[in-house]
């Protein structure tokens, strides 16, 4: 049985698609799927 996912985003992020967003935390760029962080890297200088 499939589940629907709500498009809820953490504060201070930019939505890219229905469930994908990107934001900056502690000088790192963090990519989110919904509210879960899935990837991060150093912010460009």
pLDDT value at residue 11: 74
Closest CA relative to residue 9, chosen from 31, 39, 40: 31
| pLDDT averaged per 10 residues, the chain (length 45) | 73 87 92 90 92
Tokens of 21: 């967003």
For the entire predicted model, the pTM comes to 0.74
pLDDT value at residue 31: 95
pLDDT value at residue 7: 66
pLDDT value at residue 1: 77
d(CA 24, CA 38): 13
Closest CA relative to residue 24, chosen from 15, 12, 9: 12
Domain ranges of the chain: 1-45
Closest CA relative to residue 5, chosen from 39, 17, 23, 30: 17
At residue 16, φ and ψ (nearest 5 deg) are -110, -45
């Amino acid at each position: 049985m499939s589940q629907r996912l709500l498009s809820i985003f953490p504060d201070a992020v930019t939505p890219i698609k229905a469930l994908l967003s990107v934001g900056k935390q502690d000088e790192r760029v963090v990519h989110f799927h919904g509210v879960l962080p899935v990837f991060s890297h150093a912010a460009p200088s």
